[in-house]
């Protein structure tokens, strides 16, 4: 309390402390919950609920994190410059200014972004300004009361998020700061605030992904866009306009930043109901596409028109994998220009094949560091291991390299030779030369470009998905997630699955069990289980890295989409009791 500059969190602690000393056991339990540890700083930085104490996100914790990051830069001889961004969540701007003052107080050159902006703008700015590091204050798509602190590194790290062992080194520096009081830290207001030219540079670089010098407005698909109460709209609009696209219709209730997220319980486009307002708007205006960014605009969701059995027009939200297939196929075409360069080798592409999971290249002799044949300079497609195996088939068909990575875009973005990468959780990297992180705005632009090209030929996104199945195979994917109140429950579930793995799922035999904790070539030990099934199916189980959930990822491939989807449904029914 003595070192906390925030009146609200000091007052909250004061009330709790008074009640606890008066014998209120509930207040004592709450204090224990706030002070029985620290929010761990890791590869995802910090993320947690707002509130007092070291197990919550607050000005004390953020100040310690900023000072620890600054000390890390100074101690390791990295470039002593940091660019800081923030979104529209509660206290994001406050945490950003605290960080700027503390880092400047250490003598570090600091640039603060001029307003609440998307995470991709911050990731771009790290490279554009050649900064030593970047900080983005955001909890992305987490519940409204959460906030977070994401760290990027420049120079040799090329503006990607931190990975081990850097996270542990920064955590040690933060712990050393936390041993004292933040009132002893020097602060300075001598930091720069970036001008509009930085945002414009992002807009121009992103818009350059597509080239439509002459677009007839009537030829463009009609689009509805929602920012989901986040910070994406102003930047997305500028990118769309600069690239020559018509300005989308918007969901007025969700277009302005609002940290309370009043129309959605979880501001995550993946959550059931989160896109209801956007889809209703799409139906009302006769849209061809409904596009959603999450609150910090690093993720993208897409819904396309569908017609029910009763003839009523609605929208179907595509899965993250389906969007990844479309964008990955488009990236492969861009990378090769002349189209497919090889016939599919079905035996080498099955999801349950013996190809090493860490690196999947274009044949024998693949370089373990790049996923490419030795001596090759071929471009690479990449996806996290929980994403659909379909992208591997695209890479093989076009003679490109392919790489599986651990979950987290910090791994995807670092793949050498990358031209496209994605995660099934709505994260897409379509322009690695501009941003080395997932970017929901450039992904939206690429989809608009694709939809416009298809419309010019009298075709739709739905037609393109059918074409994908005909070209690469009928893939289907699904997910089962269990949210827990007690994090210890996650460990219990994973331990039970390891002790007694299933031998069949939904009537399908389990051919092999792979435990990534035991160490799998190409990956460090990780809390992931993979079950390879008869008929080229696959199930992967892991704890979420950002939410209190156990997630199960289901992938199948069959002779038709209907059969593949039916198998996914059976697998989901079989898996659900195992993780409940």
* Torsion angle defined by CA atoms of residues 133, 137, 141 and 143, in that order, rounded to the nearest 10 degrees: 150
Cα 443 to Cα 421: distance, rounded to the nearest angstrom: 11
φ/ψ of residue 301, rounded to 5: -125, 150
Alpha helices in 36-184 (DSSP H): 59-76, 92-105, 119-128, 166-178
One of 81, 92, 99, 140 is an active-site residue; which one? 140
Identify the CA nearest to 252 among candidates 206, 284, 296: 284
Cα 442 to Cα 238: distance, rounded to the nearest angstrom: 12
Which structure tokens are listed for 177? 């700061």
* Burial grade of 559 (CB within 10 A; 0-12, 13-18, 19 or more): exposed
The radius of gyration computed from the CA coordinates of the chain, to the nearest angstrom, equals 24
Which structure tokens are listed for 458? 């009298």
Residue 314 annotated as catalytic: no
Residue identified by tokens 């003052």 is 101
Strand order in the sheet with 508-515: 474-483, 549-558, 538-543, 529-533, 508-515, 504-505
Which structure tokens are listed for 531? 């079950």
CA distances from 575 to 90, 180, 519, 558 (A): 37, 48, 24, 20
Which structure tokens are listed for 441? 């705005």
Identify the CA nearest to 226 among candidates 259, 205, 271, 257: 257
- Supply the DSSP string of 500-520, one letter for each residue: S--SEETTEEEEEEEEGGG-B
Cα 329 to Cα 313: distance, rounded to the nearest angstrom: 28
Angle between helices 119-128 and 196-207 (to 10 degrees): 100
Which structure tokens are listed for 252? 């007025």
Which structure tokens are listed for 434? 């501009």
Cα 539 to Cα 579: distance, rounded to the nearest angstrom: 13
φ/ψ of residue 539, rounded to 5: -130, 130
Cα 537 to Cα 201: distance, rounded to the nearest angstrom: 44
What does the angle CA 564 – CA 321 – CA 123 come to, to the nearest 5 degrees? 170
Q: Residue 347's Cα: distance from chain center in Å?
A: 31
What does the angle CA 549 – CA 555 – CA 558 come to, to the nearest 5 degrees? 160
Cα 399 to Cα 388: distance, rounded to the nearest angstrom: 19
Which structure tokens are listed for 176? 């050393």
What does the angle CA 570 – CA 267 – CA 262 come to, to the nearest 5 degrees? 130
- Beta-bridged to residue 474, according to DSSP, are 558
Residues acting as catalytic residues = 140
């Amino acid at each position: 309390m003595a070192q906390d500059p925030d009146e609200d969190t000091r007052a909250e602690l004061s009330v709790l402390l008074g009640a606890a000393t008066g014998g209120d056991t509930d207040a004592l339990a709450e204090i224990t919950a706030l002070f029985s540890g620290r929010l761990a700083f890791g590869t995802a930085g910090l993320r947690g609920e707002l509130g007092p104490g070291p197990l919550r996100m607050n000005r004390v914790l953020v100040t310690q994190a900023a000072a620890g990051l600054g000390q890390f830069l100074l101690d390791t001889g990295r470039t002593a410059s940091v660019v800081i961004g923030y979104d529209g969540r509660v206290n994001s701007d406050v945490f950003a200014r605290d960080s700027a003052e503390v880092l400047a107080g250490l003598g570090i050159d600091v640039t603060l972004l001029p307003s609440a902006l998307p995470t991709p703008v911050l990731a771009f700015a790290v490279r554009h300004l050649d900064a030593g590091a970047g900080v983005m204050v955001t909890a992305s798509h987490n519940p409204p009361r959460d906030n977070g602190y994401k760290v990027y590194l420049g120079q040799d790290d090329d503006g990607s998020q931190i990975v081990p062992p850097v996270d542990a080194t920064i955590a040690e520096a933060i712990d050393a700061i936390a041993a004292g009081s933040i009132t002893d830290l020097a602060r300075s207001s001598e930091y720069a605030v970036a001008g509009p030219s930085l945002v414009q540079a992002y807009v121009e670089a992103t818009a350059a992904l597509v080239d439509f010098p002459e677009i007839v407005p009537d030829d463009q698909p009609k689009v509805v866009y929602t920012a989901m109460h986040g910070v994406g709209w102003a930047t997305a609009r500028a990118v769309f306009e600069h690239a020559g696209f018509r300005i989308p219709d918007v969901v007025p209730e969700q277009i302005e930043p609002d940290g309370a997220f009043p129309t959605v319980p979880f501001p995550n486009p993946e959550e059931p109901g989160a896109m209801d307002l956007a889809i209703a708007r799409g139906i009302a205006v006769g849209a061809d596409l409904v596009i959603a960014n999450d609150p910090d605009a690093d993720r993208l969701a897409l819904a396309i028109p569908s017609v029910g059995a009763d003839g009523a027009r609605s929208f179907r939200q595509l899965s993250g994998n389906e969007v990844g297939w479309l964008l990955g196929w488009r990236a492969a075409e861009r990378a090769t220009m002349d189209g497919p360069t090889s016939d599919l080798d079905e035996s080498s592409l099955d999801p349950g094949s013996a190809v090493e999971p860490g690196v999947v290249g274009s044949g024998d002799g693949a370089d373990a560091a790049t996923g490419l044949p030795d001596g090759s300079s071929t471009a690479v497609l990449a996806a996290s291991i929980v994403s659909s195996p379909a992208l591997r088939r695209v890479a093989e068909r076009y003679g490109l390299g392919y790489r599986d990575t651990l979950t987290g875009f910090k791994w995807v973005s670092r793949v050498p030779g990358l031209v496209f990468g994605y995660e099934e959780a709505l994260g897409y990297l379509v322009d690695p030369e501009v941003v080395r992180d997932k970017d929901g705005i450039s992904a939206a632009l690429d989809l608009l470009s694709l939809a416009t090209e298809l419309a010019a030929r009298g075709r739709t996104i739905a037609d393109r998905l059918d074409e994908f199945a005909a070209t690469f195979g009928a893939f289907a994917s699904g997910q089962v997630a269990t949210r827990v109140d007690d994090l210890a429950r996650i460990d219990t579930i994973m331990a039970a699955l390891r002790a007694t793995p299933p031998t069949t799922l939904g009537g399908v035999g389990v051919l092999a069990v792979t435990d990534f904790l035991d160490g799998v070539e190409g990956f460090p030990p990780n809390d992931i289980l993979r079950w390879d099934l008869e008929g080229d199916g696959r199930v992967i189980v892991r704890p979420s890295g950002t939410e209190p959930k156990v997630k199960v990822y289901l992938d199948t491939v069959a002779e038709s989409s209907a059969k593949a989807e039916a198998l996914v449904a059976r697998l989901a029914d079989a898996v659900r009791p195992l993780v409940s």
